[in-house]
Amino acid sequence: MSPALLLPVGLAALLALVIPVVIHIARRTESRTIDFAALRWLDAAPKPRRSLMIDERLLLAARLLLLALTALWLATPVLRNAADTRPIVAVAPGTDAATVAAATAKGDHVVWLAPGFPEHGALAPAASDDIVSLVRQLDAELPAAAPVKVVVPATLENVDAERPKLSRRVEWTVGAEASSRRTASSAPPSLTVRYAPEVQGAVRYFRAAARAWTPANTEPAFDAASIDRAVPGNTRQLVWLAPGPVPEPVEAWVRDGGVILTVLEARIPVEGETVPVWRGTAGEPLAVAGRLSRGRVIRLTRVLEPAAIPQLVEPDFPDALQIMLDPRPAPARVAAVDHAPLSGAAPYEQPPLDLRPWLGLLIAMIFAAERWFATRRTRAVAP
């Protein structure tokens, strides 16, 4: 810990210390006259003798100390490196008690990994929706010398897609799985294709992708027909394999929230800029996407044939097609053991401890003492 002044110019107020000294010298306590009978023994013309005297020295000392403390308060005194460096154990709500007991030791400062970081002895708060953000906040608010241990359940919910990077190494303790949960398997994605006669041969690429999405011994949810057949109302993704303008009913379906993938020769409006959603091995964009009201438009940038797009016949084409039509959300539920924080981030500068509240309390006490010295009935009287 090291004391410092954030505003040293405030010490210029120490010049005011001269004021009470001058007042006490110039305005001494009223003198009292004492009658003395033997005046004949006194010299008729005595020479007056003057000496510099200060009355009520305690009152003067209180006033000088009051001014000095006020000047120090104006200079904003602080204490650097005064933060608590005890080991911190942050426990995520929902962690089993056995893991918490094994992870804590005598002298540790145990808190809940919850907003405000309440003491662990308090009532357990509700589980937070963003454990990782709370870990980052804890890392930012603690001094660099404070060891940190984080105790979390086996599974984390609503986490970022990237492991957090902190300014220190954190001891990451994972508890037991609270309960076994199974995620319901989602139905295989369905795909609707509408094609012109001259492009009918390209349908096989999308039929193969639909089969790859579907478990064995199950028929894929695949609907392929010519462009003169209407698009079903329950269609979620549509592949349009026909040159020229897209019919108005199909465009209206897209504006209402549909997703359409078109060949290079198709024409359909796009609002705003487009972004690449499928790239080749050299990074070249093979498909771009843009918005159309509430829907999405994906347009191939090359002719739909293996000579122009070799990825059509590669094993990962079904995955690329599914990501284009239905982008995967960022992972939100992961195993805690795989999401341990990384270290190496720049340390956060800790704010110094402001001493002005304590100094203000001392100033109030000195002021009360000064008022008592100045107003008491038995003040000293000069003889």
Give me the tens of pLDDT residue by residue for the chain, a chain 383 residues long.
578 888 888 888 888 888 888 877 776 555 556 666 665 666 666 565 555 566 778 888 888 999 999 999 998 888 776 666 788 999 988 888 888 888 888 888 899 988 888 888 767 787 776 788 889 888 888 888 889 999 998 888 777 767 888 988 999 999 876 544 444 445 567 899 999 999 999 999 999 999 999 888 888 889 999 999 999 988 889 999 999 999 999 999 999 999 999 999 999 999 989 999 999 988 999 999 999 999 999 999 999 999 999 999 999 999 999 999 988 665 567 888 888 888 888 877 767 778 899 999 999 999 999 888 888 766 554 44
Whether residue 162 contacts residue 369, with contact meaning beta carbons closer than 8 Å, is answered with: no
Asked, for residue 186, whether it belongs to a domain, the answer is: no
Assess if residue 41 is contained within a domain: no
Residue 330 included in any domain: no
- Considering the domain boundaries, does residue 35 fall inside one? no
Q: What is the 3-state secondary structure (H, E, C) of 237-294?
A: EEEEECCEECCHHHHHHHHCCCEEEECCCEECCCEEEEEEEEECCCCCEEEEEEEECC
- Which 8-state DSSP code applies to residue 142? S
314 and 371, same domain (yes or no): no
| Same domain flag for 292 and 174 | no
> Distance between CA atoms of 84 and 146, rounded to whole angstroms?
7
Domain count, the chain: 3
Pair (153, 224) in one structural domain: no
Q: Are residues 150 and 95 part of one domain?
A: yes
DSSP assignment letter at 106: T
pTM more than 0.85: no
- In the chain, the largest separation of any two C-alpha atoms, in whole Å, equals 146
Cβ atoms of residues 167 and 339 within 8 Å: no
Note the pLDDT of residue 330.
Answer: 59
C-alpha 200/C-alpha 242 separation (Å) is 9
CB 157 within 8 A of CB 334: no
In a domain, 382, yes or no: no
For 225, 266, 284, 362, the CA distances from 243, given in Å and listed in that order, are 15, 4, 23, 85
Domain that holds residue 267: 191-325
Amino acid (1-letter code) at residue 149: K
